[in-house]
Each structure stands twice: as C-alpha cells, then as structure tokens.
Amino acid sequence: MSEVSTVEKQTMNTYGWATRDSSRILSPFHFKRRHEIVGEVTKVGHNVTKFKIGDKAGVGLSIPNSLPLHGVAPLLCAGITVYSPMMYYGLCKPGQHLGVVGLGGLGHLAVKFAKVLGTKVTVISTSSSKQKEALERLGVDSFLVSHDQEQLLAAVDTMDGIIDTVSGPHPILPLIDFLKTNGKFIVVSVPIEAPEIPYIPLIMGRKLLGGSGAGGMKETQEMVDFAAKHNIIADVEVISMDYVNTAMERLANGAREERPARWRTERRRRGEAKYARSSGAGEVRSDAGDVSMGGEAAAPAPAILLK
C-alpha cells in the first residue's frame, strides 16, 4: 500500500477540488474523495516500488517535484479531460487550427496544452470580457464572440478541430460550420440539455462528431509528465476553509462576477475542517471527512483553493 498524507511539509496540506452540480445529476453540494486529490507520501507498504516517502503523488500517479500541488490537482480531472481527446483525435498537431469553446476550467487548460504543441488556437466564447485574458495571458491566436455575426461568418471553414467544453445549452450548428472538410468536433462536457444534431453538415463535409470523458491511468501520468515538462498548471485562487459557502455561491453566480470562480479546491489537516452535503441549498456543514469532488464552472478566472 501507499498512503498520501493529509499534512504536507511547510504550509500546504492535501489538495482536491469541488463544484456545485448544476445538472442535479450528482445532487447539489455533493462531496466525496475523488481522483483529483494530491499530496505527499508519508508511508509505503513493503510491496510498493513506485513511491517513496517524501514523493508528491496523486491517486496512483507520480507528481513531478516541479509542479506545485495547488496547480496540479485540477489537471487530474480537467487536464486529462481535454488532453486525452486532443491526443486521441489528433487535434493539436503543429500548424493545425483548433477551436476551443468556452474558457472555463477545461477550456483554459486546452488552450495551454495546444499552444505548447504549436497549434493555432481560437477561443469561442459568449463573453467579450474574456478576450483580453485569452489573447494577452493565454496567448491564443484569435477570439470569437459567439453572437457577433461578422466574426462567425469569417470563421466558417477555417478550423481543423473543435473541442467543446461548455455544458450549458448552446447551438452546435454554427460551431460545426467553422470546421473544414474532414474536421472533428469533440464534446468533453456533459450537456445540461441534449443538443440537436445537425446531420447534413456532418454528412456533406465528412465531419466527425465525437466525445471523450477523461482518460486512463497511463495517459493521465503521461499528461502530468507533459505538464511538468512545459510548466503547465491550472489557474487557482487560494481561500480559507471558512469561506467555503461564499465560494460555492461565487461559483453558482460566476457570470455576475468581475473575476468569477473557476474551481474550488480543498485542503485540510487530519482531524480538522470536515464537511458534508447539507439539506439546505447553499450551505455546507462540518460533518464527514470527505475531501472534495471536481467539476468546472464556465469562467475565466482562477480556481478557488481552500486552505
């Protein structure tokens, strides 16, 4: 066996991340220990060969020392969710043009992976307020506002692939029109409402509509190593544990914030702040010892990281 500690040296503890489930599939404010947890190994069993005491680790994963735990935890879900289809479907080859729909937790990592691979990247968003961040900080090549008809027409038949990270209701026909012949449209976020599928442009353009949900352990380790090599981490904001209920509301109301929250991540010492789902909407109370469950809010700002 190997054990990932709940107390890391210096100021950090164990990291994971959480979200409010707006789809109601998992129920609101449902938290449990998940695969996004990272920490430091404090004990190993006699049959363990992959880890040693003092190593950084995720669940079954080695974390390179160069990656800070607060920035690597979201990679184990959001990161692999975009990395896996980008590799499998060949969406990020040098010289290709990739469209990324949404600049939230998934979207900003898709941009980071694609840019270091030499791919031309266009972000497609409903919000023009994200344009400065996309162009100046993330280094995308272009930014499309999805309600600007002139921009939409100019983008028709220009992209080799599109990765759609948005779970909220949105039409996919205009997005499929952005694809060149033989283009690939890949969905990675579970839609709240099932979209209508435009078969004619798929047939006439020999375009592929596909999907992907995370990846296996081997590929996730490959992604973590790739992130370490290229210094890719998720954007996070550190907050205190007693701010958790306010943070949940920030996620729910993200569209109305100047810098809305992308993620919430939790850390705690053994025996300290614990929480579980409350019967009241919008409240999380101390009870069970579970660390948080991951997900994405469609927003361009840093993650919220609980300490």
Closest CA to 254 of 299, 213, 220, 211: 299
* Whether residue 184 has pLDDT greater than 90: yes
Between 193 and 181, name the one with better pLDDT: 181
For residues 4 and 41, the answer to whether their CB atoms sit within 8 Å is: yes
Binning pLDDT at 50, 70 and 90, where does residue 207 land?
A: very high
For a pLDDT cut of 90, what percent of the chain falls above it?
41
Note whether 223 and 79 are within 8 A (CB).
yes
Q: What's the average model confidence in pLDDT over 191-211?
A: 88
Confidence of residue 14 (pLDDT cuts 50, 70, 90): very low
Per-residue pLDDT, 142: 95
- Judged against a pLDDT cut of 70, whether residue 263 lies above it is answered with no
Q: How far is C-alpha 306 from the geometric centre of its chain's CA atoms? A: 17
pLDDT on residue 277: 27
Is the pLDDT at 58 greater than 90? The verdict is: no
Neighbours of 204 (CB within 10 A): 9
Tokens for 230?
A: 């290229």
* pLDDT interval class at 288 (50, 70, 90): very low
pTM of the full predicted structure? 0.75
Least confident of 29-38, 154-163, 265-274: 265-274
Best CA proximity match to 232, nearest among 99, 115, 124: 115
Residue 194 pLDDT exceeds 50: yes
Measured between its terminal Cα atoms, the distance across the chain in Å is 27
Helix, strand or coil, per DSSP, at residue 201: helix
Cα(123)–Cα(140) distance, integer angstroms: 7
DSSP letters, 90-104, are T---TT-EEEEE--S
State whether residue 183 is helix, strand or coil.
Answer: strand
**Closest by Cα among 76, 80, 129, 84 to 103:** 129
pLDDT tens-digit map of 94-106: 999 999 999 988 9
What's the fold here for domain 78-211? Rossmann fold (3.40.50)
CA separation for the pair 269, 62 (Å, rounded) = 21
Measured in degrees and rounded to the nearest 5, phi and psi for residue 201 equal -65, -25
Residues of the chain with CATH 3.40.50.720: 78-211
8 — pLDDT class (breaks 50, 70, 90): very low
